[in-house]
A and B are shown apart, each in its own frame.
Chain A
């Protein structure tokens, strides 16, 4: 049985049809590469699984049971964690406040344990992404570089990981070394039982870590293939030509 699945999902933005009749599944212990050209609908798919968008028709299921995600909290409860394409960070808040946003460590009256939030933030930043140059969890996110911001978003997702991690172009601002660290982190999480969906335009990165590939074009699925049954050349052809 699949861990999470989309069933005949359609999504309209006004007159625009962003997804049409999309179905695919994510299994336990699996890294799925979600590929496709610009505007194919990858981010829309990721946002839908995160609860940010709701399908116009069709539905999502978790462990075979139909689920309706009306907001980000619903998907978090189901075990979904997301690194968004635009990182989704608040510039005017510090790193540790961003990492724990919406899931603050508090006492029973709701007051935050800022000290522990700081300590954990630094630990995760050091272990999850070996990012250079972040020396204090009190820095404002607005003062970070693009890659450092991405690292904060990654640290947040890695710390709160549960069952499925969605990564929407997580390496677009990362250096070669940091990209390697992130891809290894995805494999490490798989070994710990966390499945991932990796959205990327870099087929080599995808080929390096993914077990299966779903290729989208104009909102529909055009290929769904195991790594054993395909090659980079075939994937490239499908992404480019469909």
Chain B
């Protein structure tokens, strides 16, 4: 190293490292949302420490709410996110979530063991996903339209098979502990969600199937020309979205102990919102599991803060709406980023 080089390195170090650090974070696939998330968390924690009586962000009760509320939206968003990266949508996941939960609860109510009823619910979810995929691909339709049909159809089906009454869900104690209990103070549902995040991360970012999912959503014609069976990949992604909707149904139902026929309405939009906030492209081919996770956490945090401040519910919708649009503008500007390195 020459003298001038040494000089410039030494002179540039302190300032540049902060700027370089910021630049490095921002150029990560989910960097911007990570930064926003950290800032929001920091602000909430400081506020919670400063006003422990008025703003109970750090109270054990609030932590408990976090661990119980996040997994349901989180599981829906993981499935919706994989499908979005593959270049398709599923608007029916909210209805499928309710339908599979109702089916599972009715089976258990008729004396079938929960460990048999739950897999049946998951299978129904996956099969409905495959059905969405089949209609979309076979007739070359936008999945938006097909699954909009699914949203209404399955919502109606719930009322058809069950009526507008709530269904009690009373599984055996082992099942209850596995999906509704706590381990070392941590909610079982939350542990499931974290494990699923890790599994989805490995699948999407480290497994060849994930590579094919990115390629299918990023440029379907090219992926086909190179030898990826893009129809198969899309079918798999649709099945995963349906499966995860059913899994979210299991977590929610076990927690509450019953199913309300109307409980899934709007959840599909929140899941897609979480994905968009997390940096997934609406055109497919871009995004990350970390982004989905942070998108879900951010939506929860905003909900939580508004509740803690006793703000009226409509603020929540307005806040999330703003966040979606801002995130889209930001992602659009950075459309080059967020691919798979």
Chain A residues within 8 Å of B, Cβ to Cβ? 47, 50, 52, 71-73, 76, 82, 84, 86-94, 97, 101-104, 106, 110-112, 114, 138, 140, 142-143
Say whether B340 contacts A92, CB under 8 Å.
yes
Given A73-B229, A90-B218, 16 more contacts at CB 8 Å?
A73-B227, A86-B222, A88-B219, A90-B214, A90-B222, A92-B281, A92-B338, A97-B340, A111-B206, A112-B208, A112-B211, A114-B206, A140-B337, A140-B341, A142-B336, A143-B336
Q: Produce 1/0 per residue, B199-236, CB < 8 A to A.
A: 00010001111011011011101111111110000000
State whether the Cβ of B339 lies closer than 8 Å to any Cβ in chain A. yes
CA distance A93 to B211 in the complex (A): 8
If the complex has contacts A88-B226, A102-B227, A112-B207, are A93 and B218 also in contact, measured as CB distance less than 8 A?
yes
In the docked arrangement, what's the CA distance between A114 and B341, Å? 9
CB-CB under 8 A from A47, the residues of chain B are 225
B212 — which chain A residues lie within 8 A by C-beta?
101-102
Could you show 24 A-B contacts with beta carbons less than 8 Å apart? A47-B225, A52-B224, A71-B227, A84-B225, A88-B222, A90-B214, A90-B215, A91-B219, A92-B217, A92-B218, A92-B286, A92-B339, A94-B340, A97-B340, A97-B341, A102-B226, A102-B228, A103-B227, A104-B211, A106-B207, A106-B208, A138-B341, A140-B339, A142-B336
B226 and A72 contact, CB distance less than 8 A: yes
**Interface contact B336-A140, CB-CB below 8 Å:** yes
Within 8 A of A (CB), among B164-215: 202, 206-209, 211-212, 214-215
Chain B residues near A91: list those with CB within 8 A: 218-219, 285, 339
Residues of A within 8 Å of B206, CB to CB, are 111-112, 114
- Complex Cα spacing A21 to B177, Å: 70
Residues of A within 8 A of B337 (CB): 140
Taking the nearest CB of chain A, how far is it from the CB of B138, in angstroms?
17
Residues of chain B from 221 to 268 with CB closer than 8 A to chain A in the complex: 221-229
Smallest CB separation, B291 vs chain A (Å): 14
Q: How far is the CA of A55 from the CA of B124 in the complex (A)?
A: 40
Select the residue from B206, B208, B212, B223 with max chain A CB neighbours within 10 A: B208
**Contact A50 B225, beta carbon cutoff 8 Å:** yes
Hey, which chain A residues are within 8 Å of B226, CB to CB?
A: 72, 88, 101-102
Give B284's nearest chain A residue, CB to CB: A92
